[in-house]
Amino acid sequence: MRPAPPPEIGPLAGSSIVLEDWEMSVDPVSSSIFVDEPWPALDDPRRTWVRVKCDTPLVNRGANVFEGWATFRTQVDYPGGKRVLRCEAVGDYYEIFIDGQRFAEAGPRRGTWDGTRDIPREFELDLPAGRHEFVFRVRDWRAAGGMVGPVFLAGDLTERVF
């Protein structure tokens, strides 16, 4: 017999910053996985923004399931200094912009059936303290959610975030 109830298992956030809450917009002109058209501006009036979690389609009631291009944006209060942006289950291809500047990309831009979304990626960054906007432009051709995550900023990658 157990002397006490089992320990609660939950996230151990530590000093990592989990980028969980996003706005998502399926790109109005680049809705095909086979079309690589210019990226519509974030303030394009044809865009519709939906709030989603960087989580599974079940959590989002299917809102983050798409094929083609979608844009995800969020803002974060960054503590300043060096961190690693770790992206798990994003893609199939994606570009990252920070404060309007292209920062990185991962995966093949042209559609293939590889496992980009299945391979966590890490990007080193060094930003000043303050509020920063992170924008991911994601191309998904497997229709299972292009921003499943987690996506987080870590000072210590040994820290458990989920």
57-116 residue pLDDT tens: 777 777 777 777 889 999 999 999 999 999 988 888 889 999 999 999 988 776 665 666
- Please report the pLDDT score of residue 78 as a whole number: 95
Q: Which residue has the higher pLDDT, 77 or 47?
A: 77
- 143 pLDDT tier (thresholds 50, 70, 90): low
- Please report the pLDDT score of residue 73 as a whole number: 95
Q: Which residue has the higher pLDDT, 38 or 150?
A: 150
Q: What is the pLDDT of residues 114-141, one digit of tens each?
A: 666 678 899 999 999 999 999 999 888 7
Q: Which residue has the higher pLDDT, 4 or 32?
A: 4
- Phi, psi at 145, each rounded to 5°: 95, 120
pLDDT higher than 60, residue 12: no
- Please report the pLDDT score of residue 26 as a whole number: 86
pLDDT higher than 70, residue 8: no
All structural domains of the chain with their residue ranges? 17-154
CATH topology of domain 17-154: Jelly Rolls (2.60.120)
Cα 37 from chain centroid (whole Å): 21
